[in-house]
Structure 1
C-alpha cells in the first residue's frame, strides 16, 4: 500500500481536497511537500491517491496552482443531483470514490477523480462522507435539505435588502416617520413583540447584530418610533421596559360598557358635604373626606374610597389587565393608568357630579385625636367639591377665601391630623422630610418646582389615609379575613430623622430602618407607629388595594371571601416583580428629565451641594433643591457632609451624565 503514494498526490484537509508531492513514507506517514512550500508528515489515511501523471518536485513547486485550478474547473461541471438520481435505486447505499467514479464518468482521469471528490467532500445535500466512503441520502432527507437551503437563500436575499433599510430608518430625522414596506412588516411586528412581550426572534437577533454595541431595546424603541409603531410622545423609559401606555380597543370598549349596582348601599344624598384634596391635575381621585359634628366635642370623620370592585369583577378581562399592570404609573411625561381612562378618571373616580359607589370608613374622634368608634359601610356618594393642595393650604394659612363650612372642616381635619401624627410619633413613627420635586414638561421644556415640604393639606390627607388603612387592617385582623399586611420591624438602632433635611443624616436614618414587607400575618409597622397596617385607599391606582377592597366588601355583604391566603400570596409575588420594574422606570424617567433640565437651563450655573459618598476617582454629591446625586471628579477625598459649590459644565441626559467642576469648598 505504501508504494502507491508517491509524487503528485491528493489528500484531504477537513472537507477540502489539497495537492501535495509525496517524497516518501516514514513511520506510517507520508512525507509530503505541500503548496506553501513546507514539508510535513501526512497521515496515510488522509492521502487519497497518487496521480499517474509523473511530475517532478520542481514541477510541483512551480505548477501546483495550475493543477488545482484544473481540478476546480472539472469539479464545477459535476452534477451531484444527477449522480444521486443514478444511484437512488441501487440496493447498496455506501460507495467508495472509485465506485462513484465508475458510475459517473465514461472515461476517467486522476483530475476528474480529484474533482469529484472535491465536490463530494463539500456536499451536504446528497451524500454523507466518512473518510473515503460516501453514503447516499434518501429522498426525504434530500428534499428537506434542499428546502432548508432555499429558505436560507431567500433569507439571505431578504436580509441583504433589510439591512440597508433598517440602517436608513435609524439614521432618519427624529421628526420624520418612515413608511414600512409590506415585505418588512413581519420584521417590524417581531420587534414590537420584543418590546411588549419580551420575545426574542430573528428580527431582534438581526437588529442586535446590525447595531453592534448599542443597547438592543433602546434601538428597537427608536426604530419603532421612527416607523410610527410607537407614538413619539410616549415616555421612552416606559416603552423600553415593555410597559404599554395605552389599552387595546377591546379593553376600551369594555370600559365604556361598565356600570354598577347601587343595591344595598347607604345613599348619602346630594346634601352630604364631602370633598377631595389633590393636585390640580389629578383626575383619578380615589378618596374624599367629610366631617360631621357630634355632641360632646366629637367629630365623625368620613374617609370615602372609590369602590372599584363595584365595576370590576375578579378574573374579568379588565381585572386581569389590571393585575398584570399592578399599578398606575406617574411620570413627568404623564400618567399611565392601571385601568382605561373611562373607568380610572371618569366612572370610578370620585369627581363632583353624579353619585358614585364608595367604601366609607368612619372614625369618631375627640378633639385631641382619641378614637372612640369606627364603622365601615358600602355607600353611594355625590362629591361636593374637588379641591387642590395649593388652595387648601391657602385656606388653612388665611391666604385664600373659603366658605365658612369648608374652612371649619379644613381646620378640624388639620388639627385632628396633627394630633394623630403626634400619637403615632409617640409610638415611634418616623416622619420623612426629604424634599420632593414636581417635574413638568411643556413643549419639551422642563420646569422644576419643589413640592411644599410642610403642606398642611398634604399632611392631613396623608394622615387620614393612614388612619383608614389602619382601621381596615384592624378590621381584617379582628375578623380573621385573609389579607396582605404591610409590616416593618423596629430598628435595632435609634432612628434620628432631623427636622431640617440634610442628605447625610437622611441616609443614615434610612440605613437604620428595616425594610417594610407584605405578609398575610398582621404585625407592627414601626415606621408608621401602628399595630397593623394594610393598603385599601388607592384601588384605582394599586391592584393590591383593589384586592383588599374586594375581601372587605365580601365580608360586609356576608358572601364567601374573594381570595384565599394562597391566592393573595401568588398575586403579591407577581405584583412585587412588576412594582420593581415600575420603580426603575420612574427613577430613570425622573433622572432623565432632571438631567434635561440642567442641560436646558443650568449649564454654567453654580449649585450648592453636599458630599454624600466617595467614588473611585471622585465624590458623589447631592445638589441642593434637586436631590439629584452626581459624580464630581476630584482627587482629594473630602469628608462626607462637606458643603461645596459646584458648576454645571456639561450634561448628557441620554447617558445620565453631568460634568461638574468644583468652585469652592464651603466648610474650609
Structure 2
C-alpha cells in the first residue's frame, strides 16, 4: 500500500512498510524513511507507485484550469474527492485526486483550506481583488525589469530623477525604483551610490557627500524664510578706530580690536564683538532661525550660514561703518601690563579696516614685532597688543601647568583650503603665528572675562569646561555646562563662548545674558532672558552639542575629500603617486603637504615624527579611502618635528572636543580653541581607510 500525505505543507508519497496504531512507517522514492501520522494521510492507493503518482499528479496539476475549477466548486465547502468528481466527470483516480489537491493548495487566492482535504472557493469580490493585485505586481515587475536594464545600460530612468537622494539615503525598500536600483547594483557588482554617479543621478562625489549631509541635517533645504530685519536701539558712538583680522574669505566678521592711549600713560584695549543680540530677541522669528541651525556649517570653498545674509550684513563688522557691537574694554598699565579695570558696554563701533591674514602674515612676524620693524597697517597697535598677549599666554600656561597639564606647544601646522571652480589649493600655515596669537588671546580673555561677569552677577550662561570629574578620560573631556567651571586645557577659571555670535547660537545666547548684566547690573538675574535652572538652556546645550558634532564630522569628511581631489590634481588621475608623510602615532601617518591622515596596518614600528615615503596606490573619492604602501622610513629630523607631533597627538588633547576650524574664520576659531589646544582632533578617528 502507498500513501499520499501532507508533511508540513509539502505533499509527498511513499510505500508503507509497517503500521502501528495511528502511525505508518513509510519509505519515500528516494529511499528515505519517515514516520507519518494517520491524520496527515490524504490518499491510500495500491497503484501506481509513489514515484509515478507524484510525477503524474504534477502533470495533472499543471493542466487544471483554475478559473473553471473555481466556477465548478460553487460557494459551499467541499472535499477534494467531491470536486474531483465534478471536474473530471468521474471519481478521480489517485493521481488525479493528488493533482487536484496540489493545484488547490498552490492557489490560496482561489481556494481556502478548511481542514484535512477540505476547501472552500474564495468569494468573487475577494478573488477579483487578489487577481488585480497579482496583475499589478506583474506589471510592476515588468517596469522594474525595464528600470534594471536602463540602469545597467548607463541610463537613469525618468521615474528616478526626482527622488535620487531619497533612493540613496532613506529609501522605501518596497518601491520598484529601489528594488531596481538594488538589483542593478548587485548584477553590476557595485554600490547604489556609485551606480548613481555612473548614470548621472549624482553629478560628482562632491555632490554625493554634500547631498548626504543636506539630506540628513537640512531635510527642508538650506534656504531661509522671508525675514523682517530688526530695529536697533539708539547706541552711543565709541571713540575708537577698530580693525579686524581675518582670512581673506571671511564674511561673518564677529570680532575687531582697538587700542587707545590714555592721557595718563595707560592703555585701553577694546575687544569689539558683533552684536546680533541687540536685534534678535529670544523667541522671535529670527531666534527661531538661529536656534534651528545652531551654527554656521563650514566646508572648504563653501558654508551654510546660521543667519540670513541680509541679517549678517547688518551686524558684521565691515570696514567703513559704525557697527553695533558689544565691547569689552581692558585698561592696562604698560609698565608691567597689569590689568587695572574692565568695562562692558553696547555701542556703535567705527570699523576703520578689515585686515586679512593673506596680506599680513608674511609681514607681521615675531621678529618684526620684537624689533618694531616693517611697514604694515596698525603697526604700533599690533606691537603693543603683541607685548600684552604674550603675558596673557604666559599666565594661562602657568595656570595650565598648575592644573597638572603639560606646557602647550605652538609649532603645529594648520592647513587652509581654498576652492575655486572645483580646483583646490591647500596652504600650510603655522599655528601660533603672531596675528593668530593676538586674535586668540584677546578672544580667550574676552570669553573668560565675560564668563566671570555672568557668574558674579548670578546670571547663567553656556560655558566650556575641561578638568572636572574623576579619572583621566573624564578630566580630559571638554563639556558644555551652564555654570562657571575651570577650563584646564586653556588655563582659565571659566570660559564662556561669546565672541562669535554671528556663527554660533551659544555665543548669541551668552551675548543676551552679558547685555543684561551690562545694562541692569545687580538686577540682571531678574531680567536676563534665561534664568537660573532654565530647562530651555539645558535643551540648547544638548541640541548644540549634537549639531556641532555633526557639522564638525561633515567638515572633516569634506576636507578629506578635497585632500583626495588635490592628489588627483597633482597626479592627473586617482592612482600611483609617491608622497612624503610623517608618523603621528603607531600606524597613523599624515602627509606633509596636505592634512590627509592615513592608517597603515602592518607598517614597521617607527618613532613619532619619523619621516615616511609612501606610494599611494589608489584612492577613492566616494568612500574617502586611501590604499598605500610604505617605501622608506627615516627618523625624525629634529626635536621640533617631534614636539609638533607631541602636541598634535598629545594625550591632553585626544579627549578634547574637535572644534572645526573654518577657512573663513580660522583666526576666530583659533582664538576659541585651536590655538589654545581646545580642539585637536584625534587622527585615529579621522582615518577612514
TM-score, length of structure 2 as denominator length: 0.76
Q: Could you tell me which of 72, 75, 80 is aligned with 1:97?
A: 80
CA contact under 8 A between 1:598 and 1:651: conserved in structure 2?
Answer: no
- Residue in 2 that maps onto 1:641: 608
- Residue in 1 that maps onto 2:103: 119
1:663 aligns with 2:632: yes
In structure 2, relative to structure 1, the CA distance for the partners of 1:355 and 1:536 (3 Å cut) is: same
In structure 2, relative to structure 1, the CA distance for the partners of 1:184 and 1:473 (3 Å cut) is: same
Per-residue CA deviations over 1:526-545 (Å, capped at 9, x if unaligned) read: 12221211101111211211
- Residue in 2 that maps onto 1:12: 6
- Residue in 2 that maps onto 1:156: 141
Alpha-carbon distance in 2 for matches of 1:122, 1:461: 79
Q: Could you tell me which of 77, 81, 92 is aligned with 1:109?
A: 92
Q: 1:127-526 alignment to 2 at 5 Å?
A: 127-134=112-119, 149=134, 152-168=137-153, 171=154, 181=158, 183-184=159-160, 187-188=163-164, 190-191=166-167, 194=170, 202=175, 207-208=181-182, 210-212=184-186, 219-220=192-193, 223=196, 227=200, 232=204, 234=206, 236-242=208-214, 251-254=223-226, 257-268=227-238, 272-315=240-283, 319-344=287-312, 346-367=313-334, 368-393=336-361, 394=363, 397=368, 401-402=375-376, 406-428=378-400, 431-433=408-410, 434-489=412-467, 514-526=476-488
- Offset, 1:330: 2.4
Per-residue CA deviations over 1:386-406 (Å, capped at 9, x if unaligned) read: 111243442563776345xx2
CA contact under 8 A between 2:57 and 2:99: conserved in structure 1?
Answer: no
Alpha-carbon distance in 1 for matches of 2:398, 2:31: 93
Q: Could you tell me which of 65, 73, 93 is aligned with 1:76?
A: 65
CA contact under 8 A between 1:362 and 1:375: conserved in structure 2?
Answer: yes
- Offset, 1:440: 3.0
- How many residue pairs were aligned? 608
- Residue in 1 that maps onto 2:683: none
- Offset, 1:587: 2.2
Alpha-carbon distance in 2 for matches of 1:148, 1:561: 64
- Residue in 2 that maps onto 1:48: 42
CA contact under 8 A between 1:267 and 1:381: conserved in structure 2?
Answer: yes
- Residue in 1 that maps onto 2:647: none
Q: Could you tell me which of 547, 550, 564 is aligned with 1:578?
A: 547
Range that drifts further, 435-444 or 566-575: 435-444
Alpha-carbon distance in 2 for matches of 1:244, 1:215: 27
- Offset, 1:523: 1.4
- Residue in 2 that maps onto 1:505: none
Unpaired segments ≥5 residues, structure 1: 1-5, 173-177, 494-509, 614-618
Alpha-carbon distance in 1 for matches of 2:498, 2:399: 23
* Structure 2 SS opposite 1:567: helix
- Offset, 1:436: 0.7
* Structure 2 SS opposite 1:266: coil
Alpha-carbon distance in 2 for matches of 1:491, 1:39: 70
- Offset, 1:362: 2.2
In structure 2, relative to structure 1, the CA distance for the partners of 1:38 and 1:242 (3 Å cut) is: same
CA contact under 8 A between 2:298 and 2:551: conserved in structure 1?
Answer: no
Per-residue CA deviations over 1:23-42 (Å, capped at 9, x if unaligned) read: 66455444445454655443
CA contact under 8 A between 1:647 and 1:663: conserved in structure 2?
Answer: yes
- Offset, 1:369: 3.5
- Residue in 1 that maps onto 2:677: none
Cα RMSD after superposing both structures: 4.0
Alpha-carbon distance in 2 for matches of 1:209, 1:412: 69
CA contact under 8 A between 1:592 and 1:656: conserved in structure 2?
Answer: no
In structure 2, relative to structure 1, the CA distance for the partners of 1:659 and 1:249 (3 Å cut) is: closer
TM-score, length of structure 1 as denominator length: 0.78
Alpha-carbon distance in 1 for matches of 2:187, 2:487: 46
CA contact under 8 A between 1:652 and 1:658: conserved in structure 2?
Answer: yes
Does 1 or 2 have the higher relative contact order (CA < 8 Å, sep 6+)? Answer: 2
- Offset, 1:275: 1.5
- Offset, 1:632: 4.4
- Residue in 2 that maps onto 1:610: 583
- Residue in 1 that maps onto 2:557: 588
Alpha-carbon distance in 1 for matches of 2:541, 2:188: 35
Alpha-carbon distance in 2 for matches of 1:190, 1:201: 13
Alpha-carbon distance in 2 for matches of 1:537, 1:215: 51
